[in-house]
Structure 1
Amino acid sequence: MARKGRRKGRWARILGGILILFIALGTAGYAWLAQSKAIATIIRQSIPFAATDPKETFHGDELTLLILGCDEDYQDNAALLGQKVRKSAARSDMVMVVRLDFVKKKITGLSLPRDLGVMIPYEGKVGRHKLNAAFAYGGADLSKQTVEDLLKIKIDRVIVINFDAFQQLVNRVNGVEVVADKDLEYDDNAGNLHIHIKKGPNKLMGYDAMCFVRYRHAKVAGPGDDDFHRQQRQQVFLSGLKRAVLANWTDLPEVINIAVNIMGGGLNGEEVGSIAAFAKGVEKFEIGGLPVRETSGTMLRLDEDKLPAVLQQYNLADGIQPDRTQG
């Protein structure tokens, strides 16, 4: 079981938090504006979103997103004085499909294991590769095509998460205050991740904030080292983030711009605001995992027998064959 969990990828374990993040930012701004119509009238023009009806914003009753998180695949660059730059061929370490149903008022999603074996065209041939290779071979477009063909659904937008912008956002609101339920200690030299956060009240700046939402367990797991407690910490962080955003309301336009950057430009400010207003009426997000079968190798296999029921459960049972004739 541990092996299967690791294969989901470190970012896949926080998939709910990432989606909630940009929705929370937009919701915070929307809620603040709603408190005072007079103030809203004055500054609304400077805020890069408006709470428009999502069916009008996206010209349909639903929106399907493919969310990708790149791994920490870096190369040293001496010309940049020792800085590290992301390789253009970095693989996607998180792959998630999210559907926002504006009629049913539901937000659902599926995590796709990065090690899932899928058919991908590469160098003029179509062969079986791991799902995360699609991003390295053909970027967001090939990832979109691969997931559409796999699930027989139509992807409307692709979001490539920018984790550097996440840190920038936290710094812009002068940090986020949280209360850690325990000492969070974890070092991963290979992944360039070093988490050292003490139990109790903390004011987290960019890097430590990312560590706080990423932490799952120490090298030797103990009490509080599981996905349930991590989700609780993410909720604590998001509550603190909303407080910080509202406390720095004069910076709201820039904060929303950074939130848009976190999503790699996959959604603009108006679209984020529209989704945020919609999300206020959604009681919970239903996020699950794609059914897979363990194999003796490093590549997982899709459990096609269980797939139809899972797609139905998460409101993704379209059976739509993507139309390649349209961009």
Structure 2
Amino acid sequence: MPGWLKVLLTCFLLFIIAGLAFAVFTFYKLNQLGTSINEGSEERQPSNLRREDVNIDKKDPISIALFGVDSDESREGLGERSDSIMILSVNPNNDKTVMISIPRDTRTEIVGNDSVEKINHAYAYGGPQMAKDSIENLMKVPIDHYVSINMDGLKDLIDIVGGVTVVSNSTFEVKGNSYVEGLPYDMYGEEALAFTRSRYQDGSGGDFGRQERQQLVVEALGDKLLSAGSITRINSILDTLGNNVRTDLKMADIQDIGTKYNGARRNVERIQLEGTGETMEDGLWYFLPDEESLKEAERKYKENLEIE
């Protein structure tokens, strides 16, 4: 056998061995991740607003609550609060996602706590289950699953994937950075977090501007995590997810969503609730959603779920 052919075969075998080793390592890490992030899937109950539970394996349209959790216990005397709240109706049949941002200061009934207050308190009082129940009561839509991510973990993930590119929705300045509406910006974690949290700066658009920026950054991060370039960072990505994410989705369901529902992430309709702000008798400022806005958001969300 010629020498050059031996070298070629050796390189080919090494390539195959390296590929198999990577596959085994990834399988191990994914199983490890599934164990660390899974929380309560065995005790999970189907939504009361569903006739029957969803089947991800059969590509049923699903509804997921996404919570950005702030663990600063010094704020308002509470523990973990959902600093950011979004719900996603994901339909693989029409390849569409409907994303609704719910302002964290929305005044509503906290189901299971016998109180009416800011919706982000629900997570602090009763974790994701109380938060899901309160969202269902407010929006009149089923919530099948949830995903919670620590906001510091969001920053770390953005750094690991090499930053995200976001088109600014407003013209404003925050923490030494300037943005012009309609222009794209490359951001790493700390800047992206400041970008999503800004609401008091001139031109930032207040709560509505902040909600849209949260949606934009979440979409950009999702695209980056699923890009081919992230494969080389798979170990760091999985470790960071394991430390900062909790969900009632099983690993098999997450993998199915990543493959069978992938087309829906490229077609996202973003919705923001309309309403007014008011300081109530308890001295706190609340967002009071408009009833017509709630009904229209409910209609679009359910339509994408293919339910009445």
Alignment of 1:117 onto 2:117: no
Partner of 1:69: 68
Where do residues 1-327 of structure 1 align in structure 2 (5 Å cutoff)? 43-48=22-27, 57-58=56-57, 61-71=60-70, 73-75=72-74, 89-120=79-110, 126-173=114-161, 175-176=162-163, 185-186=173-174, 195-197=175-177, 206-211=189-194, 213-214=195-196, 219-221=201-203, 234=217, 238=221, 241=224, 246-247=228-229, 249-259=231-241, 261-267=243-249, 269-282=251-264, 283-295=266-278, 297=280, 298-315=285-302
Q: Is the 8 A contact 1:257 1:269 kept in 2?
A: no
Report the Cα distance in structure 2 between the residues aligned to 1:140 and 1:232, rounded to whole angstroms: 20
Deviation of 1:235 (Å): 9.2
Normalised to the residue count of structure 2, the TM-score between the two structures is: 0.61
Q: Is the 8 A contact 1:291 1:310 kept in 2?
A: no
Cα offsets for 1:69-90 (capped at 9, x unmatched): 23463449xxxxxxxxx97623
* Counterpart contact for 1:160–1:266, Cα < 8 Å: no
* Number of residue pairs the alignment of both structures matches: 257
Q: Percent identity?
A: 21
Normalised TM-score (structure 1): 0.58
How far does residue 180 in structure 1 lie from its aligned partner after superposition? 9.8
Residue 102 of structure 1: CA displacement?
Answer: 2.4
Q: Flag the 1:139–1:277 CA change in 2: closer, same or farther, 3 A.
A: same
Structure 1 residue matching 2:246: 3-state secondary structure? coil
Over 3 Å counting, the alpha-carbon distance change for 1:284 and 1:39 in structure 2 is farther
Runs of at least 5 residues in structure 1 that lack an aligned partner in the other structure: 1-35, 77-85, 187-194, 321-327
Report the Cα offset of residue 107 of structure 1. 0.9
Question: Any idea what SS the aligned residue of 1:281 has?
Answer: helix
Q: Kindly name which structure, 1 or 2, has the bigger radius of gyration based on alpha carbons.
A: 2
- Structure 2: gaps of 5 or more residues: 1-14, 32-53
Letter in 1 for 2:237: V
Distance change >3 Å, CA 314–CA 197, structure 1 → 2: same
Residues 58/109 of structure 1: CA separation in 2 closer, same or farther (3 Å cut): farther
Q: Deviations over 1:78-113 (max 9, x none)?
A: xxxxxxxx9762332222211111223221122222
Alignment RMSD (CA, Å): 4.9
Greater fraction helix: 2
Cα distance change, pair 40–180 in 1 and its aligned pair in 2 (3 A): same
Give the drift of 1:143.
0.8
Amino acid at match of 2:25: S
